[in-house]
Amino acid sequence: MKTFTLDVEYECDFALFGLVSSTRDYTLAWALNRALRLRLIRQPELLLNLLSQGRLVFTHYLHATETLTFRLLRNRSIAPSNLKKPFLAPDIKEYDYLLAVSNGCGALADEELLQQLAALDMVQYVCQFDPNTLKYKENLIL
């Protein structure tokens, strides 16, 4: 019997920032709301079911307008897991949170946002990534 596999390439059209922060997710969302004048609202947990390995659960905050979308995602699963790497993006497991920004205003907006994120007291380190270069970019497509 022949087996066919479907290979799909996803194009990510959002800017991705990795944040290192030891604070709780709701505290970080509050700080981002104040600093960037957003309204990040907690959404139902993001569930990632891995067929034979169990499931991963991630907290998820969303700010959406007609022109701009911010998603704050916790990178490490909040549910206990038997996996060696219980991360949403295992390629960048050093980062505690991921901030995905869709429909931004170009590279200058990304650079300004990077500076604003780095200026927050609760953020120890921030870095911007190209989501298309990540191995597990499918996990970030919501």
Between 3 and 71, the more confident residue is 71
- Residue 9 placed within a domain: no
- Answer whether residue 4 is part of any domain: no
Any domain includes 7: no
The answer to whether residue 101 is domain-embedded is yes
Helix, strand, or coil here: 142?
coil
> How many angstroms separate the CA atoms of 50 and 81, rounded?
11
| C-alpha span between 31 and 125 (Å, rounded) | 15
Residue 43 reports pLDDT greater than 90: yes
- Reported as a single tens digit per residue, the pLDDT across 52-101 is 677 888 999 999 988 888 999 999 888 887 777 788 888 888 999 999 88
Q: How many domains are there within the chain?
A: 1
| Strand ranges (E), the chain | 14-20, 41-42, 46-50, 54-58, 60-64, 69-74, 97-102, 125-129
Q: Which domain holds residue 111?
A: 15-140
Is 2 within a domain? no
Please give the Cα distance from 54 to 34 (Å, whole number).
37
Strands 41-42 and 46-50: unpaired
Determine the Cα–Cα distance for residues 40 and 30; give it in Å rounded to an integer.
Answer: 8
Domain contains 85: yes
Residue 1 lies inside a defined structural domain of this protein: no
Provide the whole-model pTM: 0.84
40 lies in some domain: yes
